[in-house]
Amino acid sequence: MSAIVEAQHQPSAPVQAAYSYCEAVTGQQARNFAYGIRLLPAEKRQAMSALYAFSRRVDDIGDGTLATEDKRERLEATRDVLDRVRKGLVEEDDTDPVAVALADSARRFPIPLDGLDELIDGVLMDVRGATYETWDDLKVYCRCVAGAIGRLSLGVFGTQPGAQGADRAPEYADTLGLALQLTNILRDVREDAGNGRTYLPSDDLAKFGCSDGFGSDTPPPGADFAGLVHFEVRRARALFAEGYRLLPMLDRRSGACVAAMAGIYRRLLDRIERDPEAVLRGRVSLPGREKAYVAVRGLSGLDTRNIARRTVRRRP
Ligand SMILES: CC(C)=CCC/C(C)=C/CC/C(C)=C/COP(=O)(O)OP(=O)(O)O
């Protein structure tokens, strides 16, 4: 019986090739998230790679050098691909491997594909050059480009039968996405400034005398740059703490994947907190061996158990 079930889960050759393509994209480009995705069993790993490859495509259009109108057109073309996936119109021999892999994943897992529309909407906001006055404004953007990825991933992970508070799992997955995105914004502050983009809320920039932006490897004169960074780090930490409530609801390997992704980003945040100006000098990153260590820790379940204990303690 189990052999029959196994056989049913074996993708056909073209679908397998499509997944191999998505896994190659993930391995080459997901410098941090690949460490978590690798910890998943094959079917979930393939589905996460399909989600990653689609998201990468959307993100690359947004970050690319095309003119604004061409970017818009390309983004709407990815929305058409998504519509074909949603309507079950993508055949196994389609020439787009990402569409084939995504269509197969959507058949296997209850992935809320509308989250990918949100991602496209978020990148369109970016292409339009949106700026954010308050954290509430920035949150709208972060929900689209990262919260949605958390909710999509949860569709692949699922929650464990009988997990307490599982109805709040999408909310926690979304919050974890916000935590990662805010960390990403802090890490990339200089690179984004170079591309004419500022994501941090203008209210926060004004409060710390940083409204003139970050065009050089030292803070603008008179600015309390460290104060600004520490303020945003505290905000990100609170989001991590809330989002981590998801972990005890997941099975062991999905929990390991999330713990590795979040753990690597939390360590980035630690580094940024210790030396805020480092983000002006270049891209803060972790050495490969440290990322591997965080992944192994995730697999050991240590982080998940600690969080479960803290969550239980906090309950009234
Ligand atoms: C529940 C759950 C799984 C939540 C996580 C959701 C998630 C993975 C959100 C991604 C947001 C983010 C910071 C993308 C940057 O990708 P990038 O390719 O620019 O990152 P990199 O530059 O660090 O490689």
Q: What is the 3-state secondary structure (H, E, C) of 102-118?
A: HHHHHHHCCCCCHHHHH
By percentage, how much of the chain surpasses pLDDT 90? 86
What is the amino acid identity at position 190? R
How confident is the model at residue 315, as a pLDDT?
Answer: 47
How confident is the model at residue 7, as a pLDDT?
Answer: 44
The set of residues, in sequence order, having a beta carbon less than 8 Å from that of 165 and lying 6+ positions away, is 245, 249
CA–CA separation, 247 and 241 (whole Å): 11
Task: For tokens 């296997």, name the residue.
Answer: 108
Can you tell me which atom of ligand 1 is nearest the CA of 258? 3
H-state helical runs in 128-251: 135-142, 148-157, 169-187, 189-194, 202-207, 225-243
CA–CA separation, 65 and 79 (whole Å): 20
Of 68-72, 82-86, 130-134, 217-221, where does mean pLDDT reach its minimum?
Answer: 217-221
Biggest alpha carbon–alpha carbon distance for the chain: 71
| Tens digit of each residue's pLDDT (9 = 90 or more) over 258-269 | 999 999 999 999
311 pLDDT higher than 70? no
Can you tell me which atom of ligand 1 is nearest the CA of 184? 13
Q: Higher confidence at residue 61 or residue 215?
A: 61
Tell me the average pLDDT of the chain: 93
63 pLDDT higher than 50? yes
208 pLDDT higher than 50? yes
For residue 180, report the distance from its CA to the centre of ligand 1, in Å: 6
316 pLDDT higher than 60? no
52 pLDDT higher than 60? yes
Residue closest to 219 by CA, chosen among 140, 278, 163, 162: 278
For residue 146, report the distance from its CA to the centre of ligand 1, in Å: 7
Torsion 259-264-268-274 (CA) sign: positive
168 pLDDT higher than 50? yes
Protein residue whose Cα sits closest to atom 22 of ligand 1 = 31
Q: Higher confidence at residue 100 or residue 299?
A: 100
Tokens of 106: 């959507």
Can you tell me which atom of ligand 1 is nearest the CA of 243? 1
Angle between helices 97-108 and 13-29 (to 10 degrees): 100
148 pLDDT higher than 50? yes
Mean pLDDT value across residues 127-131: 95
How confident is the model at residue 221, as a pLDDT?
Answer: 84
Q: Residue 177: CB within 6 Å of ligand 1? A: yes
CB 208 within 8 A of CB 228: yes
Q: Residue 32: CB within 6 Å of ligand 1? A: yes
Mean pLDDT value across residues 96-107: 98
How confident is the model at residue 218, as a pLDDT?
Answer: 85
- Which of the listed residues 58, 175, 184, 242 should we mutate to test ligand 1's pocket, taking the one with most ligand atoms within 8 A of CB? 184
For residue 21, report the distance from its CA to the centre of ligand 1, in Å: 20
Of 9-13, 85-89, 204-208, 277-281, where does mean pLDDT reach its minimum?
Answer: 9-13
Protein residue whose Cα sits closest to atom 13 of ligand 1 = 181
Tokens of 158: 């699922």
DSSP tag of 166 = G
